[in-house]
Amino acid sequence: MNIGHFNLDGTRTLIIAELSANHGHSLETAKATIRAAKKAGADAIKLQTYTADTLTLNCDKEDFVVKGGTLWDNKTLYELYQDAYTPWEWHKELFKVAKEEGLLCFSTPFDKSAVDFLEQFDPPAYKVASFEITDYELVRYMASKQRPMIISTGIATLGEIEDVVAICKKEGNDNIILLQCTSSYPAPLEGANLLTIPDLAKHFGVISGFSDHTLGITAPITAVALGAKVIEKHFILDKSIGGADASFSLDVEAFTQMVQAVRDTEKLLGKPTYNTDEKSIKGRQFSRSLYVAKEIAKGEVLSEENVRSIRPGYGLHPKYLKEVLGKCATKALNFGERLCKEDFE
């Protein structure tokens, strides 16, 4: 499967820098963040496309007040989203800057009007947010555009994940990526359940990945080791910018470190193989082999005294030792000489 020019069937992990609310209401900061994401090693930049009015009601009744020990307790949902949204009039410029930098750029639309708006930019994919996975009609509408679907599973039950996968497929869209995600901000390490990543791929027959809200870079590195082909992580120029997502976002230095660690992990994983490479073959000089440990006359019987399995590894393989013992030398053999098959009979 390809997302734009990026081939997800290769060995390289798609690393997505999530801009989200990390722009401090400044278009210039948003543009600088995209450029910094490229320098930090990201493959893609992701936006969020909504307004407070497309997400919720401007209401201060108890149902609409955030609570439960979150970073945003006591704010109304409307206040939170009004503070965090990315102005729609910025999108054209942000897509342009991303293209100039060679970054894939796409977004999470939060209603049908956002999907319609984003279509003008020919995005290489759509992202379904964790909390929107239960909005089946929105998922269906996104899938109908026949673009790859990247779906965070944060709050979903197994049945709901099965439902949205079926919805995409019913629309003729089989390009599905499921992301393991813990919808807690920040997410505790013990709640990451990264073993779900290979299980998602196996259970649904799709590409799987990880949308990370933990602190630090350990979780995404581990996720890649477990088979994640997509990593999404919130990215901020500097945490001093503040904002709704700043506390669990990576700054430039940390994001760069994460990318490098992921790329190193890819190299470490390699592929299943039992072939020895050039360095391994060269290293076999330090393995054991059969050598003449004592002068041997022609016709003399080979024994544990005059033939030994020692380093280096240029002689006959040690597996032949039992076969060699008791045989007679076909010629005189000198101390320190490699033993060869033609040396005995």
Residue 183: CATH number of its domain = 3.20.20.70
Decide if 74 is inside a domain: no
Span of 175-184, 239-248, 265-274, 286-295 with lowest mean pLDDT = 239-248
> Are residue 156 and residue 247 in the same domain, yes or no?
yes
pLDDT of residue 280: 64
pLDDT of residue 304: 96
Predicted model pTM? 0.87
User: What is the dihedral angle through the alpha carbons of 52, 54, 58, 63, rounded to the nearest 10 degrees?
Assistant: -100
**Rounded Cα gap, residues 112 and 118, in angstroms:** 10
Is residue 254 helix, strand or coil?
Answer: helix
Give the mean model confidence (pLDDT) for residues 214-239.
96
Decide if 57 is inside a domain: no
**Rounded Cα gap, residues 160 and 198, in angstroms:** 18
> Are residue 249 and residue 282 in the same domain, yes or no?
no
> Are residue 122 and residue 239 in the same domain, yes or no?
yes
Q: Answer with the one of 214, 247, 269 that is the final residue of a domain.
A: 269
pLDDT of residue 5: 95
Domain boundaries, position 13: 7-50+85-269
**Rounded Cα gap, residues 51 and 69, in angstroms:** 24
| Cβ atoms within 10 Å, residue 90 | 15
Give the mean model confidence (pLDDT) for residues 232-259.
93
- Report the number of distinct structural domains present in the chain: 2
Calculate ∠ Cα 104-267-280, nearest 5°. Answer: 160
Cis peptide before 318 (omega within 30 of 0): no
> Are residue 182 and residue 320 in the same domain, yes or no?
no
> Are residue 261 and residue 150 in the same domain, yes or no?
yes
pLDDT of residue 293: 97
Q: Answer with the one of 238, 269, 300 that is the final residue of a domain.
A: 269
Is residue 300 helix, strand or coil?
Answer: coil
Q: Is the pLDDT of residue 277 over 70?
A: no
pLDDT of residue 279: 64
Q: Quick one: pLDDT band at residue 70, thresholds 50, 70, 90?
A: confident
